[in-house]
Structure 1
C-alpha cells in the first residue's frame, strides 16, 4: 500500500489564495478526515490532487508526482474520487454500472462481447460495498446511501488505491451512516482513504486521524481527541459548528 504526500500545495484563483502552502501526509491504511468551515479549501485541495485545478507544490502517491498530469492519467495511477452527488447510471442495474466501470481499461472490442459470468473484481466489489443482494436492481431505484456505495464500488473495480470521498454521508439515514463508517474501515485494510466531512458525530466515531483546514491553511492535525482539544479548532471550527447547531 502507498500513502499520499502533499508538500507546499498552493492554489490561487485570480489572486485569491484558496490553498496556501498545505503539507499533508496520509499514510497507507489511514482513514483521514479533512474538516473545516466553508471556504477552508477542503474541496479545492482534492480538486488539485485529482487534476481538476492547477496547483503548485508537490503531490505524490505510490512514487508518482500527480501535479501536472491530466485527470484521466491521475485516475489510472489508482486515485479515485466521489462527489457529494453520486454519479451513477440510474437507468442501468447495479451490476451493469460496475461492469461498465470495470471495463474502463478494456479495449472497445472486448466491451462489445457479452459477459457470460460476473467478473471476479465486480463480484468482490458487490460484496465489499454490501450491494450483492440488489445487483439486479436499477441504480435509480436505490436508496440514497446505496447510490453512494455503488459509486465507491465503481472506484474499486477500477483498482483505485487512494479513495477521496467528498461528504459521503450527506443526506444519509443513521443506519446508512453507520454502514458507511464500517465500509470505510474495510476499505482501509488495503487502501488509503481521505474523507471530506462536516458530520462531526460521524467523524468522532470513524476517523482515525483528522486534519483541520482554515482559510486555505492547515490549522491542526492529530487524533480526534487531540483535534477536539485544540483551542484554535474550538474557536475556528468546532465552536462555530456548535453555535450553528
Structure 2
C-alpha cells in the first residue's frame, strides 16, 4: 500500500481560494488528523479528493490519479468518506444498510435475489463496528455514535481502503468517543485513515500524525506534541505563541 499523495492542490470558488496549493502525504496505515479553524479548507480538501469539489493539481491513492474522475469512480478505487451527519437508510435495519452497501457493485437482478444467510464481509463489518447486537434494529433507532459506526461499516463492505472521516465524534458521548478511537486504530491495520476533527482531547489520544491547516494552506505537520509546540499553531489557536 502506498497511501495518499496530494500535490499542489487548489480549489477556487468564485475567486475565493479555499485550498491554495496543498502538498500532503498520508502513508498507508496512518491515522492522520487534519485540524484547523473554521474556514481553513479541511472539508474542501476531502471534497476535492472525493470528486465533490473541482480542483487542480494532483491527488493519487495507491498510485491512481483521482482528480478529474467522477465521484463513483473514485469510490470504486477504494476511497470512502463519511459526512458530519451520518447518511444511512433510517427505515432499514443495520443489516439491510450493510447488505445494500455490499451490493453496490452488483447488478440490480443480483440484489433482488433472496439472500441465503449473511455474507461473510457483512458479518465481519458488523463485528468490526460493534453492531452485531443491533443488526436487526432500524438504523433510525440507533444512538448517534452507532449511526457513524454503521456508516464506517458501509464503507468497509464496499472495500474502501482510504477512509476520510469528517468530524466522526461530533455529538458523541465520552464512551462513544473512546470506542470510535479504538475503531480507528483497528481500521488502520488494513486501511489508511484521515480524520477531520475539532475535538482536541480526542486528537491527543488517538492521532498518530497531525496536519494543521489555516487559510487554505498547511501551517504545520508532525506528531501531536510537535504540532502543539509549534509557535505558528499556538498563534492561530490562541492568538499568541505560548511562552516556554
TM range (shorter): over 0.9
Query: What SS does the corresponding residue of 1:226 show, helix, strand or coil?
Result: helix
Structure 2: give runs of 5+ residues left out of the alignment. Answer: none
Displacement of 1:2:
3.2
Using the TM superposition, give the Cα deviation of residue 116 of structure 1 relative to its aligned residue in structure 2, in angstroms: 1.0
Aligned ranges 1:85-164 → 2 under 5 Å = 85-164=85-164
Q: Which runs of 5+ in 1 are unaligned?
A: 241-245
Q: Tell me, in whole angstroms, the C-alpha distance in 2 between the residues paired with 1:22 and 1:146.
A: 33
Q: Give the distance between the partners of 2:97 and 2:175, measured in 1 at CA.
A: 24
Question: Separation in 1 of the partners of 2:96 and 2:108?
Answer: 16
Determine the C-alpha separation between the residues in 2 that align with 1:134 and 1:147: 11
Task: Report the equivalent of 1:189.
Answer: 189
What is the TM-score when the length of structure 1 is the normalising length? 0.97
SS at match of 1:104: coil
- Map of 2:33 onto structure 1: 33
Instruction: Supply the distance in 2 between the matched residues of 1:167 and 1:238 (Cα, whole angstroms).
Output: 21
Is the 8 Å Cα contact of residues 36 and 213 (structure 1) preserved in structure 2? yes
Deviations 1:114-152 (A, max 9, x none): 101100100000000000111011101100000000000
Report the alpha carbon displacement of residue 238 of structure 1 after superposing the two structures with TM. Answer: 5.2
Work out the CA distance in 1 between the residues paired with 2:141 and 2:150.
12
Shift of 1:108: 1.0
Within 2, Cα distance between the matches of 1:239 and 1:127?
44
CA distance in 1, matches of 2:127, 2:221: 33
Cα separation, 1, equivalents of 2:127 and 2:204 = 26
Q: How far off is 1:239 after superposition?
A: 5.4
Q: After superposition, what is the alpha-carbon deviation per residue over 1:52-71, rounded to whole angstroms, capped at 9, x for unaligned? A: 01101100001100000000
The answer to whether structure 1 residue 230 and structure 2 residue 218 are counterparts is: no
Structure 1 contact 2–192 (Cα < 8 Å) conserved: no
What's the TM-score, normalizing by structure 2? Answer: 0.97
Number of matched residues? Answer: 240
Whole-angstrom distance in 1 between the partners of 2:5 and 2:64: 10
The SS at the match of 1:180 is helix
C-alpha separation in 2, matches of 1:13 and 1:147: 32
* Aligned residues: CA RMSD: 0.9
What CA deviation, in whole Å up to 9, does each residue of 1:92-119 have, x standing for no partner? 1000000000000001111010101100
Q: Deviations over 1:30-66 (max 9, x none)?
A: 0000000000000000000000011011000011000
